[in-house]
A and B are shown apart, each in its own frame.
Chain A
Amino acid sequence: MSAGAYGWLVLASPLAGMILIALGWRVLPGRSAGWLAALAILGSFVASVGALLALQSLPEEERAVTSSAFAYAQTVGVDVDLGILVDPLSVFMVLVVSGVSFLIHVYSIAYMGSDRGYARYFAYLNFFVFSMLLLVLAGNFVLLTVGWAFVGAASYLLISFWYRRDTATRAGIKAFVINVIGDVGLVIATFLLFSGTGALDYAGVFEAAPEAFNRNDGTLVAACLMLLVGAFAKSGQLPLHTWLPDAMEGPTPVSALIHAATMVTAGVYLIARTHPLFELAPAAADVGAIVGTATLFFAATVALVQTDLKRIIAYSTISQIGYMILGVSAFAYGAGLFHLMTHAFFKALLFMAAGSVIGAVGGNQSIERMGGFRFAMPFTHVTFAIGALSLAAFPLTAGFFSKDEILAFTLNRGGTLYPTLAVVGYVGAFMTAFYAFRMVFRVFWGEPVPEALVLERGDMPHGEHANPATGEPEDSDVGFPGPDHHIADRERSMKAPMFLLALLALVGGAVGIPLVSDTLEHFLEPTFAESAFIEQVPSESAEITGLVVGGLVGIAGILLARELYLRRPGSTLAMVARMPRLHRFLERKWYFDELFDVVFVRPAKGFGRIGREGIETGVVQGLMGGTSGIVRAGAHLARTVQSGYLRAYALLLVIGLSAMALYFLIVSA
Chain B
Amino acid sequence: MSPGWFVALSAVIFCIGVGGVLMRRNPLVVLLCLELMLNGGNLALISFARMHGTGDGQIFALIVMVVAACEVVVGLGLIVAMYRRRLAIDVDSMSELRG
In the complex, A376 Cα to B56 Cα: how many Å?
127
| Closest B residue, CB atoms, query A658 | B18
Indicate if the CB atoms of B98 and A647 lie closer than 8 Å.
no
A interface footprint on B8-31 (CB within 8 Å = 1, 0 otherwise) = 000000000010011000000010
**Which chain B residues in 62-99 approach chain A with CB under 8 Å?**
91-92, 94-99
Indicate if the CB atoms of B22 and A642 lie closer than 8 Å.
no
| Closest A residue, CB atoms, query B91 | A646
B interface footprint on A634-664 (CB within 8 Å = 1, 0 otherwise) = 0000010111111100110010000000000
> Main secondary structure on chain A at its contact with chain B?
helix
Indicate if the CB atoms of A654 and B95 lie closer than 8 Å.
no
| Closest A residue, CB atoms, query B34 | A650
Residue numbers in A under 8 Å from B96 (CB-CB): 644
Residue numbers in B under 8 Å from A650 (CB-CB): 21-22
Residue numbers in A under 8 Å from B95 (CB-CB): 643-646
Indicate if the CB atoms of A642 and B99 lie closer than 8 Å.
yes
Indicate if the CB atoms of A647 and B92 lie closer than 8 Å.
yes
In the complex, A644 Cα to B97 Cα: how many Å?
5
Other-chain residue from B22, B97, B99 in contact with A647 (beta carbon distance below 8 A) = B22
Other-chain residue from A641, A647, A654 in contact with B91 (beta carbon distance below 8 A) = A647
Residue numbers in B under 8 Å from A646 (CB-CB): 30, 91-92, 94-95
> Main secondary structure on chain B at its contact with chain A?
loop
Residue numbers in A under 8 Å from B22 (CB-CB): 647, 650-651, 654
Q: Quote the shortest CB–CB distance from A655 to chain B (angstroms).
A: 11
Residue numbers in A under 8 Å from B98 (CB-CB): 642-644
In the complex, A647 Cα to B29 Cα: how many Å?
13
In the complex, A641 Cα to B98 Cα: how many Å?
9
Q: Quote the shortest CB–CB distance from A651 to chain B (angstroms).
A: 6
Residue numbers in B under 8 Å from A647 (CB-CB): 21-22, 91-92
Q: Give the number of residues in B that approach A within 8 Å (Cβ atoms).
A: 12
Q: Give the number of residues in A that approach B within 8 Å (Cβ atoms).
A: 11
In the complex, A643 Cα to B22 Cα: how many Å?
15
| Closest A residue, CB atoms, query B19 | A654
In the complex, A498 Cα to B53 Cα: how many Å?
130
B interface footprint on A620-643 (CB within 8 Å = 1, 0 otherwise) = 000000000000000000010111
Most buried by B among A639, A646, A651, A654: A646
Q: Quote the shortest CB–CB distance from B89 to chain A (angstroms).
A: 13
Q: Quote the shortest CB–CB distance from B53 to chain A (angstroms).
A: 25
| Closest A residue, CB atoms, query B33 | A650
| Closest A residue, CB atoms, query B27 | A646
| Closest A residue, CB atoms, query B15 | A654
Q: Quote the shortest CB–CB distance from B99 to chain A (angstroms).
A: 3
In the complex, A647 Cα to B92 Cα: how many Å?
8
In the complex, A494 Cα to B96 Cα: how many Å?
86
- Taking A645-B92, A646-B91, A646-B94 as contacts, is the C-beta distance between A639 and B99 under 8 angstroms? yes
In the complex, A647 Cα to B22 Cα: how many Å?
5
In the complex, A644 Cα to B91 Cα: how many Å?
10
Q: Quote the shortest CB–CB distance from A177 to chain B (angstroms).
A: 56
Q: Quote the shortest CB–CB distance from A112 to chain B (angstroms).
A: 71
In the complex, A646 Cα to B91 Cα: how many Å?
6
In the complex, A645 Cα to B97 Cα: how many Å?
9
Q: Quote the shortest CB–CB distance from B1 to chain A (angstroms).
A: 25
Other-chain residue from B18, B30, B99 in contact with A654 (beta carbon distance below 8 A) = B18
| Closest B residue, CB atoms, query A641 | B99
In the complex, A646 Cα to B95 Cα: how many Å?
7
Q: Quote the shortest CB–CB distance from A436 to chain B (angstroms).
A: 85
In the complex, A643 Cα to B95 Cα: how many Å?
7
Residue numbers in A under 8 Å from B91 (CB-CB): 645-647
Q: Quote the shortest CB–CB distance from A574 to chain B (angstroms).
A: 86
In the complex, A647 Cα to B98 Cα: how many Å?
13
Residue numbers in B under 8 Å from A645 (CB-CB): 91-92, 95
Residue numbers in B under 8 Å from A654 (CB-CB): 18, 22
In the complex, A198 Cα to B94 Cα: how many Å?
87
In the complex, A642 Cα to B96 Cα: how many Å?
10
Q: Quote the shortest CB–CB distance from B82 to chain A (angstroms).
A: 13
Q: Quote the shortest CB–CB distance from A645 to chain B (angstroms).
A: 5
In the complex, A646 Cα to B79 Cα: how many Å?
14
| Closest A residue, CB atoms, query B98 | A644
In the complex, A639 Cα to B99 Cα: how many Å?
5
Q: Quote the shortest CB–CB distance from B23 to chain A (angstroms).
A: 8
| Closest B residue, CB atoms, query A647 | B22
In the complex, A609 Cα to B96 Cα: how many Å?
47
In the complex, A645 Cα to B96 Cα: how many Å?
9
In the complex, A651 Cα to B94 Cα: how many Å?
16
Residue numbers in A under 8 Å from B99 (CB-CB): 639, 641-642
In the complex, A647 Cα to B30 Cα: how many Å?
10
In the complex, A644 Cα to B92 Cα: how many Å?
8
In the complex, A47 Cα to B18 Cα: how many Å?
108
In the complex, A580 Cα to B84 Cα: how many Å?
94
B interface footprint on A360-403 (CB within 8 Å = 1, 0 otherwise) = 00000000000000000000000000000000000000000000
In the complex, A650 Cα to B96 Cα: how many Å?
16
Q: Quote the shortest CB–CB distance from A404 to chain B (angstroms).
A: 93
Q: Quote the shortest CB–CB distance from A10 to chain B (angstroms).
A: 79
| Closest B residue, CB atoms, query A639 | B99
| Closest A residue, CB atoms, query B95 | A644
Residue numbers in A under 8 Å from B94 (CB-CB): 644, 646
**Which chain B residues in 47-64 approach chain A with CB under 8 Å?**
none
Residue numbers in B under 8 Å from A639 (CB-CB): 99
Residue numbers in B under 8 Å from A651 (CB-CB): 22
In the complex, A631 Cα to B95 Cα: how many Å?
26
Residue numbers in B under 8 Å from A641 (CB-CB): 99
- Report B's interface with A, CB cutoff 8 A: 18, 21-22, 30, 91-92, 94-99
Write 20 A-B pairs (CB below 8 A) sorted by A numbering. A641-B99, A642-B97, A642-B99, A643-B95, A643-B98, A644-B95, A644-B96, A644-B97, A644-B98, A645-B91, A646-B30, A646-B91, A646-B92, A647-B21, A647-B91, A647-B92, A650-B22, A651-B22, A654-B18, A654-B22
The 7 A-B pairs of least Cβ separation, nearest first, read A644-B98, A644-B95, A642-B99, A639-B99, A646-B91, A642-B98, A650-B21
Having A642-B99, A645-B95, A650-B21, one finds 17 other A-B pairs with CB under 8 Å, namely: A642-B97, A643-B95, A643-B98, A644-B95, A644-B96, A644-B97, A644-B98, A645-B91, A646-B30, A646-B92, A646-B94, A646-B95, A647-B21, A647-B22, A651-B22, A654-B18, A654-B22
- Report A's interface with B, CB cutoff 8 A: 639, 641-647, 650-651, 654
